[in-house]
Amino acid sequence: MADRVDKILRNYFTGRLDLMIKQREYVLRNESGPVDENIGGGRAQNKHTRPVDDLMIRIESDPMLRQLNKQKEDIERWVATFEKPKRDVVAYYYASKSVTWVKVAQQFHISERTAMAWRVEIKHILGAVL
């Protein structure tokens, strides 16, 4: 059964995390703000109309978008610190759901246990960060 770190890594290496970030930004850019239902007889004296500023504030203050961006930055920062063979094995394994440990071992000319041990090591480090 996959845990939270597995899911985050799979989203990152398949490109789904980038897609989720772009999709959230699209939703924030295209959703309309609060509707003013005050249909009445006065003049709005202190009304500001700064749609670009409002949009930037909405994008920068969205908690879901900030969480997704933080996950991406954390993964990029920590994955870059690992040795290249470990990084390649983990990227290859998480890039597709159809990849098995046998395929990973054959692709990188290592044993299955070594590949799994590298994944566990990376998951422990990223689990503490994420």
Q: Could you read off the pLDDT of 14-36 as tens digits, one per residue?
A: 999 999 999 999 999 988 766 66
Dihedral angle of Cα 12, 120, 113, 10, to the nearest 10 degrees: -20
- Can you tell me the distance from the alpha carbon of 113 to that of 94, in angstroms, rounded to the nearest whole number? 16
Q: Per-domain residue ranges for the chain?
A: 4-29+51-129
Q: How large is the C-alpha radius of gyration of the chain?
A: 22
User: Average pLDDT over the chain, rounded to whole?
Assistant: 88
- Can you tell me the distance from the alpha carbon of 26 to that of 120, in angstroms, rounded to the nearest whole number? 35
Note the pLDDT tens digit of each residue in 1-13: 368 999 999 999 9
Amino acid occupying residue 47: K
Using DSSP, state whether 14 is helix, strand or coil. helix
- Can you tell me the distance from the alpha carbon of 89 to that of 116, in angstroms, rounded to the nearest whole number? 9
Note the pLDDT tens digit of each residue in 29-60: 988 766 666 666 666 667 777 878 888 888 99
